[in-house]
Amino acid sequence: MALSGFEGFEKRLELHFSGDDPVGLRRLDFLALEQVLDAVQCTVVSAIGNPFFDAYVLSESSLFVYPNKIVIKTCGTTQLLKSIPSLLTHALELGLNVCGCKYTRGSFIFPKAQPFPHTSFREEVLYLEESLPGNLCYRKACILPSKASSSSSHSWHVYSASDQHRVDHLSNIFTIEVCMTELDRVLARRFFRQCDDGYSGDVAGREMTAATGIGNINPSAIVCDFGFDPCGYSMNGIDGGDYSTIHVTPEDGYSYASFECIGCKFEEIGEVLKKVVRIFRPGTMSVSMTIGEEGVQGMCSRVASALKPLGLDSRSCRIEDFPAAGSVTFQTFTTRRK
């Protein structure tokens, strides 16, 4: 917990592994996962799985475990990158070798509250460089800034490392990460619990999901949700091999919500973003997408066109290519009242 308030902006780590075991990382038992999360300083509060992967709601955000991929997303003052040594050791014991890494985060609301190695992006990159094996030779670190004149400056930090010589084209499927601040105060109140409501976190989470319309973003998804006491919300939605996840810090002054999904098709993204914006009505918003090279053209304009009727105007758009990892787009939006 930051002295000024809770840090909503997440750090996100994605590791890919090569190996022949069809179960792979899903063989990790709960004790092994606890060891990884202990290093990060968070715990599991709820879990769900299907034939494709396992999804965990954490005390600070989410964890997704596929046979050959793991994604950890944590907020607050967690030390996410400290999970890497333990993860690589456990994976090696399973006969898996890391073949790709991606780390992303936005600009912290309370940067001075962050512990090592998250005190700066430079320190994070140095820690990554020292923690990853030498076979990940295609490396790049980059900060994608918004317009310097923006009333709420926000940048996107990306580090990528891979041992692959080419991008694995994702056809029309990609990853999207959305960060929202200055949430509508009335809508944000739905993520506060009643005093002494007697509910478990799971029951409170289900009520929040139903009251806010979050369950309608992808009606075919199975939702695992959790409502924190006295406020805050997290959910993971699983749909086949795809997931979506939402995390909310609703307090006035530093309100924040994030939405992430993997597997959403290009033609669906506009409608998905509209549903998300209507739930939170943010004053500022950023949208980052990781796309195979073939899908970059037109995506920024597609997103801007979807958000404009909702009162969010595009303030900046950046595109950066990463070796053997695709392209990352970063757009920022503010309401017209700004």
Q: Residue 194 and residue 163: Cα distance in Å, rounded? A: 50
The rounded mean pLDDT for the chain is 90
What does the pLDDT read at residue 299? 84
Residue 200 belongs to domain spanning = 11-335
Q: pLDDT > 90: what percent of the chain? A: 75
Residue 212 in domain: yes
Residue 73 in domain: yes
Q: Residue 171 and residue 338: Cα distance in Å, rounded? A: 37
pLDDT tens, residue by residue, 199-225 = 999 999 999 999 999 999 999 999 999
Confidence of residue 298 (pLDDT cuts 50, 70, 90): confident
Is the pLDDT reported for residue 150 higher than 50? Answer: no
List, in sequence order, every residue forming a beta bridge with 315; answer none if it has no partner.
none
CATH number at 93 reads 3.60.90.10
Is the pLDDT reported for residue 46 higher than 90? Answer: yes
What does the pLDDT read at residue 145? 86
Residue 2 in domain: no
Averaged pLDDT for residues 131-152: 80
- For CA atoms 333, 10, 206, 29, the dihedral sign is positive
Confidence of residue 5 (pLDDT cuts 50, 70, 90): low
Residue 6 in domain: no
What does the pLDDT read at residue 2? 42
List, in sequence order, every residue forming a beta bridge with 244; answer none if it has no partner.
237, 261
Residue 1 in domain: no
Active site amino acids: 7, 10, 61, 75, 234, 247
Q: How many domains does the chain have?
A: 1
Averaged pLDDT for residues 254-280: 91
pLDDT tens, residue by residue, 222-243 = 999 999 999 999 999 999 999 9
What does the pLDDT read at residue 294? 59
Averaged pLDDT for residues 37-49: 95
Residue 83 in domain: yes
Q: Determine contact, residues 245/227, Cβ cutoff 8 Å.
A: no
Integer CA distances (angstroms), 30 to 37, 65, 209, in order: 10, 12, 27
pLDDT tens, residue by residue, 323-333 = 877 889 999 99
Integer CA distances (angstroms), 260 to 3, 61, 272, in order: 27, 11, 11
What does the pLDDT read at residue 151? 44
Residue 3 in domain: no
Weakest mean pLDDT among 36-50, 61-75, 118-132, 133-147? 133-147
The runs of H, that is alpha helices, within 11-108 are 30-40, 84-93
Is the pLDDT reported for residue 92 higher than 70? Answer: yes
Ramachandran angles phi, psi of 226, nearest 5°:
-155, 130
Q: Residue 161 and residue 134: Cα distance in Å, rounded? A: 10
What does the pLDDT read at residue 297? 66
Confidence of residue 38 (pLDDT cuts 50, 70, 90): very high
Is the pLDDT reported for residue 296 higher than 90? Answer: no
Is the pLDDT reported for residue 282 higher than 60? Answer: yes
- Own/partner pairs for 117-124, CB < 8 Å, 24+ apart? 117/79, 117/81, 117/82, 118/11, 118/77, 118/79, 118/80, 118/81, 121/157, 124/81, 124/157, 124/159
Residue 51 in domain: yes
What does the pLDDT read at residue 268? 86
